[in-house]
A = this chain, B = another copy of it.
Amino acid sequence: MSVRVGIIGVGVMGADHARVLASQVPGAVLQALYDADPTRAKAVADETGAQSVAADPLALVRDPSIDAVLVASPDATHKDLTLACLAARKPVLCEKPLAPTTAECREVLAAESKLGRRLVQVGYMRRFDPAYVDMKMTMLSGRLGAPLIFHCVHRNVSAPSWFDSRMAVSNSAVHEFDIARWMLDTELTDIQVFRPKAARADSPGAPVFLVLETACGQLVNVEIFIDATYGYDVRGELVCEKGTVSLGAPGRTEVSLDLAHGSAYPADWRPRFADAYRLQNQAWIAAIAGGASAGASAWDGYAAAAVAEAGLQSLAENRSVSISLVEKATLYK
């Protein structure tokens, strides 16, 4: 059974989603693409074999020949487009974040709850990464005992030009917030942000270090370092009562050359999470075709945003901040 997909926004992420759906996801039909830049939309349609280019994102959402929508347009547009999908009763895979503020996220929660049916998936693709899945399976096997501490590291080569120093918390760390919530199956309750003052004051990509507590009493700590220079590197170690499980080292091969032995880092997140995007999008299409839902929900999108907001407050006020969440609607339990 085919699912006809429309994609809104085909910049770096959206174009990748189009390629993945076209070449890796049986059952997905690329029905229409929209982009604020029609030339770009046309180019990606030509490359991926998408059937048509839409002139207007809301028209795309409402188009009866479209079964489901993937939103990869700028963050500020996410909420309205997601609400439009809900209004049209269409499944939507919205790139993270669900919305830049918790207030907007709550609008989505309210609309979806009112509808009484889960149609929103948020693109926290790490939940589909085989290494994180393997980590969770290992933990759930019980061999290691109960989890106590989760150490997380997230490093990029360099900050993009539009980056400001708060975005390490609001844009990058949200992936860690989501994966920690998913891994430990609980909510984050407190956050404290530390900055090494040794880092250059003018550097928006300088490291931050976050310590969080969960509702189950675990500690999570996160280093985010956007200007890490040396490579794209995501690490995680889950410390349990009797043992630990870590994400493996990078690279499929090892090279011995020039007095060193080692493996390569990718320059950005796409090679590292190529499997995760493929599996996420396959699961999304399969869930739509089967009438079920998969992946991060609107609630998960809201919760990550709530942690980020508390984190920004901690960064500004240099103290621990409690994370408060609205009551969780039945739909998300």
Contact = CB atoms under 8 A, between A and B. Distances in A.
A143 interface: yes
Interface in A222-250: 223, 225, 227-231, 233, 239, 241-250
Given A246-B254, A255-B243, A259-B265, A196 B221 contact: no
Contacts of A146: 198
A187 to B, nearest CB: 14
Report how many copies the assembly holds. Answer: 4
Given A242-B229, A260-B262, A264-B260, A253 B138 contact: yes
A142 to B, nearest CB: 12
B253 A251 contact: no
Contact of A265 (B199, B213, B216, B261): B261
A267 interface: yes
Given A147-B198, A219-B196, A259 B247 contact: no
A143 B227 CA distance: 16
Contacts of A242: 228-230, 257
A134 B290 CA distance: 37
A7 to B, nearest CB: 16
A252 interface: yes
A144 B257 CA distance: 7
A285 to B, nearest CB: 10
A173 interface: no
B252 A230 contact: no
Contacts of A294: none
B196 A149 contact: yes
A322 interface: no
Contact of A130 (B209, B252, B258): B252
A211 interface: yes
Interface string A118-131: 00000000000011
Given A24-B282, A228-B242, 15 more contacts: A23-B282, A134-B253, A143-B257, A144-B255, A148-B196, A196-B219, A223-B239, A227-B241, A244-B256, A246-B256, A248-B253, A248-B263, A255-B260, A259-B264, A259-B266
B23 A23 contact: no
A191 to B, nearest CB: 12
